[in-house]
Amino acid sequence: MTNAPLRLAITGDDRVVIDCVNYRVLETFPSYLLAPVDSPREILQLSQEEFNSASESNRFSIDRNYFNLRSARARQLGGTSSIIHLNWEDQQIILHRQDWVDRFLTLEEATAHLKSLKRITRSDTKMATAIELIGRELAEKARITTKRADVAVGKAFGSPSARTLRNWVCLYELANFDPLALRDQRFRSGNRSLRCHSKIHALMVKARRAYLNPRQPLLKDVYYDLKKDIEALNEVRRAHRKGALPVPCQDTFSKFIQSLGEFEVYAGRNGLEAARKKYYVSSRGQLITQIGQIVEMDEWTVQLHKLLIEAGIYDAFSDEERALIEKTRWSLSVAEDAATRCVIGMRIAPTASTQNALDTLKMCFEDKSAFSDAAGCATAWKFRTGMALMRTDNGSPYVSEKFRLAVTAVGATADRTPAGRPQLRGRIERLFSTIATGLTTLFEGRTFKDVVAGAHYPSSERAVLTVEEIGLAICRFVVDIYHNTPHSGLGGDTPAETWARLEKASGVIPLPSVNVRRAVFGRKVWRRITDHGVEVAGLFYQSDRLQERRRKIGDGAKVEVSIDLADIGHVSARLDEGWIAVQCLDDSVQGVPFHEYAHVAKQVEQARAEKRTNLAKIIDNARQYLRDLNRSAVKRANIASLELSDRALEAELKSLQVGFGLPPAFNQSSRQTGLADGLLAGGYAVPGRPGEKTIDNVGPIGGDDDFDLEEMS
């Protein structure tokens, strides 16, 4: 089931990046006219279909308001284009300062109509009063937050002075309320001048040239000659009644040599050709390049036993199963577009948690046709959009730093309504009541009864099965019934009709780029950079910028990698300048979920272990199955599907790393072409690394247990 292309609401202040080329938008209708920033006379024209197709690829991104003066000021103050590129300490400082500024501006606005004695202004006296009030609020928030096990406790900060807070407020307003402007400016500090006398520096440069010699002299010998040269210099200075210059230690001289970079040092001592061979790029690397005014998100506790009683199947369970079901409380997290009342994200988890909130937020930007198809829906769940403001309550998942950081990183503003005021989120609150009422009718069908009551599983598994069926039922109710039912809040139109009308009139807010979404929501692991790039689950990911990093810091250095478990065709790697997208060398896994790949890869590994004679056919079938899976509209998906825990994911990655790698016959010819087929290339089954033990007791994640690669035609 294919989705209609989005009409994006792009303005002249937005920057469009295609294949690392920056463009300004001249026109958006009837076709897109883009002018390169560096060559404004060279106009690029794209049809609506071409532009929308490109916007879903890793080659494309849209930076909202990039050419706006205030946005440029925020980037200048922050030293980067997005908060996601900063380290965790800087992110905490920005969120802490934003919290203070937002609370002060709210307090200032709330007291603006009062008499001058009670009004909060920006004078030192009034700001001191505001700081005391806000400090108490934040202390109480910290006290409550630390009791939650799933909320990470951030760094403790003190209260700012009146002058400091006033400076923060001014910077925040000058940058059009972009939190990047609140970054601590100490990142610009540091002595960048020579740390030694210019003549000592010149002698160190001379000694470094002597060290970078094909004869490969020892460091201690070169350092000894350096000390002799400095002593000779000091003799001359003393003769002219000048003070002696200090001699740098050997460690300082060693760091001075290494400041050139690993590639240059190796080339100087081993020759340029040897350095090129050592830091050879094994294959190609491809660099990858707006409705959503307010989105409301909230969670609802699903009491499983009440739904089963209303469905008329509660009596089908044993006393043991009833006791287990009555203890089951699942949390349904929903994100709803306020303008159209369309549900754009929805997940079920055992408890309300930050991770479930993040999973729901991630769905807002994704194609959800796999979920609607798996639930048997007649209409497509096509609604997706960027967002300007994310409105939530003060629940612990939404006040957590991880959620606030994710909202900011995707270009939205986090807005939390005051406690005890659910009417400020009336749309989302009413939606939960509609879902609960609608499910009672939906569960009267025989399909749900037959599947749950007739399932021959142990008690714990039947409870899980029930939740999975409820997840499919909720999905089908929302997509087929709720979205196509006239809504009183929309003047009698349905949510789907309202979405189509508003999208045609003004478009939707551009989605955050694929790389940004993967960096924000992906699962993080650390991997070493080799000549083949980075390895994840037996797959290799490669890019030019990754190799530039390797040439700078040397072989074996680790980088942080972010994995989207829904599509392992690309990963994101964090370098000094921020996150970059890195493509997998094996084209067969493009668009393939991790659990599908893991299921197929383990069958191939099992065939290798059994030394089957038809191994080449099995591998060919595996590659074809993964390619067909990417082209297929129907994939196994459920809003109640549980994400792997970090421990379970690490176990899966480890087991796959043991079984696969580059083929043994990955020869020089494949290196010269710059291409590699990767995991299943050339009919090879790659053995585990020496000394490692294959993990055979980790079963496939989901999937069809009867799937057989040998029986594929």
476-497 pLDDT per residue, tens:
889 998 999 898 878 788 999 9
Q: What is the mean pLDDT of residues 48-66?
A: 84
Q: How many CB atoms lie within 10 A of CB 360?
A: 24
Amino acid at 289: T
Percent of the chain scoring above 90 in pLDDT: 22
In this predicted structure, the answer to whether residue 405 has a pLDDT above a threshold of 70 is yes
Query: 613 and 657: one domain?
Result: yes
- Predicted pLDDT at 456: 47
* Nearest in space to 562 (alpha carbons), one of 516, 515, 519: 519
User: Among 52-61, 268-277, 650-659, which stretch is predicted with the lowest mean pLDDT?
Assistant: 650-659
Amino acid at 237: R
Task: Give 302's pLDDT tier (boundaries 50, 70, 90).
Answer: confident
Task: Give 602's pLDDT tier (boundaries 50, 70, 90).
Answer: confident
Q: Can you give the residue range of the structural domain that contains 698?
A: 594-711
DSSP-derived 3-state class of residue 525: strand
Quote the CA–CA distance of 348 and 333 in Å, as a whole number.
6
Task: Give 441's pLDDT tier (boundaries 50, 70, 90).
Answer: low
pTM confidence score: 0.64
Query: 311 and 459: one domain?
Result: yes
Residue 205 C-alpha from the chain's centroid = 43
Query: 583 and 693: one domain?
Result: no
- Predicted pLDDT at 680: 34
Residue 82 lies in a domain: no
User: Among 190-194, 326-330, 543-547, 550-554, which stretch is predicted with the lowest mean pLDDT?
Assistant: 190-194
Tokens found for residue 565: 């478990």
Residue 676 lies in a domain: yes
Residue 6 lies in a domain: no
Length in residues, the chain? 713
More confident residue, 623 or 65: 65
Angle at 239 between CA 238 and CA 241, to 5 degrees: 60
Out of 589, 621, 636, a domain closes at: 589
Task: Give 11's pLDDT tier (boundaries 50, 70, 90).
Answer: confident
In this predicted structure, the answer to whether residue 144 has a pLDDT above a threshold of 70 is yes
In this predicted structure, the answer to whether residue 30 has a pLDDT above a threshold of 90 is no
User: Among 125-134, 157-166, 237-246, 466-475, which stretch is predicted with the lowest mean pLDDT?
Assistant: 466-475
Query: 134 and 97: one domain?
Result: yes
* Nearest in space to 6 (alpha carbons), one of 344, 335, 437: 344
Quote the CA–CA distance of 429 and 461 in Å, as a whole number.
31
Quote the CA–CA distance of 611 and 113 in Å, as a whole number.
82
Angle at 99 between CA 98 and CA 103, to 5 degrees: 110
More confident residue, 597 or 315: 597
- Predicted pLDDT at 284: 41
Q: What is the mean pLDDT of residues 418-433?
A: 70
Q: State pLDDT tens for residues 617-676.
A: 666 666 666 666 555 544 456 666 556 666 766 766 666 653 333 333 333 333 333 333
- Which residues, 6+ apart, have CB-to-CB distance to 471 below 8 Å? 348, 638, 639, 640, 641
Tokens found for residue 700: 């496939």
Residue 77 lies in a domain: no
Q: How many CB atoms lie within 10 A of CB 353?
A: 20
Query: 648 and 667: one domain?
Result: yes
User: How far is CA 297 from each of CA 349, 361, 366, 640, 643, rounded to the nearest angstrom?
Assistant: 15, 8, 16, 17, 20
Q: What is the mean pLDDT of residues 65-69?
A: 84
Quote the CA–CA distance of 180 and 183 in Å, as a whole number.
6
Q: Confirm if 306 and 315 have CB atoms less than 8 A apart.
A: no
Q: Is the Cα dihedral 242, 247, 248, 253 positive or negative?
A: positive
Q: What is the mean pLDDT of residues 414-423?
A: 72
In this predicted structure, the answer to whether residue 612 has a pLDDT above a threshold of 60 is no
Query: 484 and 443: one domain?
Result: yes
Of the ranges 5-9, 243-247, 290-294, 435-439, the best mean pLDDT one: 243-247
Give the number of domains in the chain.
6
* Nearest in space to 641 (alpha carbons), one of 597, 595, 600: 595
In this predicted structure, the answer to whether residue 345 has a pLDDT above a threshold of 90 is yes
Q: How many CB atoms lie within 10 A of CB 308?
A: 25
Tokens found for residue 243: 């003070």
Q: State pLDDT tens for residues 362-395.
A: 999 998 888 888 888 899 998 999 999 999 988 8
Residue 5 lies in a domain: no
Query: 177 and 205: one domain?
Result: no
Residue 103 C-alpha from the chain's centroid = 28
In this predicted structure, the answer to whether residue 597 has a pLDDT above a threshold of 90 is no
Q: How many CB atoms lie within 10 A of CB 228?
A: 10
Q: What is the mean pLDDT of residues 102-121?
A: 86
Quote the CA–CA distance of 406 and 398 in Å, as a whole number.
10
Tokens found for residue 679: 């995991």
Cα-Cα end-to-end distance for the chain: 25
Task: Give 7's pLDDT tier (boundaries 50, 70, 90).
Answer: confident
User: How far is CA 92 from each of CA 97, 510, 523, rounded to the nearest angstrom?
Assistant: 9, 27, 20
Q: Confirm if 667 and 582 have CB atoms less than 8 A apart.
A: no
- Predicted pLDDT at 466: 61
Q: State pLDDT tens for residues 203-224.
A: 998 999 999 998 899 999 999 9
Q: What is the largest CA-CA distance in the chain?
A: 105
What is the chain's mean pLDDT, rounded? 77
- Predicted pLDDT at 705: 43
Residue 449 C-alpha from the chain's centroid = 39
DSSP-derived 3-state class of residue 575: strand
Task: Give 454's pLDDT tier (boundaries 50, 70, 90).
Answer: very low
Conformational region of residue 551, where left means phi above 0, alpha means psi within -120 to 50, and beta covers everything else: alpha
Task: Give 165's pLDDT tier (boundaries 50, 70, 90).
Answer: very high
Tokens found for residue 202: 């010149």
- Predicted pLDDT at 85: 85
Q: Confirm if 531 and 567 have CB atoms less than 8 A apart.
A: no
DSSP-derived 3-state class of residue 535: strand
- Which residues, 6+ apart, have CB-to-CB distance to 709 below 8 Å? 600, 603, 604, 607, 618, 621, 622, 625
User: How far is CA 38 from each of CA 25, 42, 706, rounded to the nearest angstrom?
Assistant: 13, 9, 56
Q: What is the mean pLDDT of residues 252-263?
A: 87
Query: 485 and 609: one domain?
Result: no
- Predicted pLDDT at 101: 93
- Which residues, 6+ apart, have CB-to-CB distance to 712 below 8 Å? 621, 624, 625
Out of 182, 213, 236, a domain closes at: 182
Residue 178 lies in a domain: yes
Amino acid at 558: K
Q: Confirm if 580 and 685 have CB atoms less than 8 A apart.
A: no
H-state helical runs in 560-631: 594-609, 615-631
Quote the CA–CA distance of 662 and 254 in Å, as a whole number.
36
Strands 578-584 and 413-416: unpaired
Of the ranges 61-75, 602-616, 691-705, the best mean pLDDT one: 61-75
- Which residues, 6+ apart, have CB-to-CB distance to 558 below 8 Å? 526, 527, 528, 529
Query: 567 and 692: one domain?
Result: no
Query: 335 and 435: one domain?
Result: yes
- Predicted pLDDT at 521: 92
One DSSP character per residue, 661-698 reads -S-TT--HHHHHHT---GGGGGG--PPPPTT-----S-
In this predicted structure, the answer to whether residue 360 has a pLDDT above a threshold of 90 is yes
- Predicted pLDDT at 86: 86
In this predicted structure, the answer to whether residue 452 has a pLDDT above a threshold of 80 is no
Residue 306 lies in a domain: yes
For residue 243, the domain's CATH number is: 1.10.10
Q: Is the Cα dihedral 424, 430, 435, 437 positive or negative?
A: positive
Query: 441 and 478: one domain?
Result: yes
Q: Confirm if 562 and 571 have CB atoms less than 8 A apart.
A: yes
In this predicted structure, the answer to whether residue 238 has a pLDDT above a threshold of 60 is yes
Query: 142 and 237: one domain?
Result: no
User: Among 234-238, 287-291, 617-621, which stretch is predicted with the lowest mean pLDDT?
Assistant: 287-291
Q: What is the DSSP letter of 350?
A: S
Quote the CA–CA distance of 485 and 495 in Å, as a whole number.
7
Residue 289 lies in a domain: no
Quote the CA–CA distance of 350 and 355 in Å, as a whole number.
11
User: Among 145-154, 393-402, 447-456, which stretch is predicted with the lowest mean pLDDT?
Assistant: 447-456
Out of 125, 153, 182, a domain closes at: 182
Q: Confirm if 346 and 475 have CB atoms less than 8 A apart.
A: yes
For the sheet containing 329-337, what is the strand order? 343-349, 329-337, 294-303, 389-392, 413-416
Q: For 459, list phi and psi in degrees, rounded to 5.
A: -55, -50
Q: What is the DSSP letter of 362?
A: H
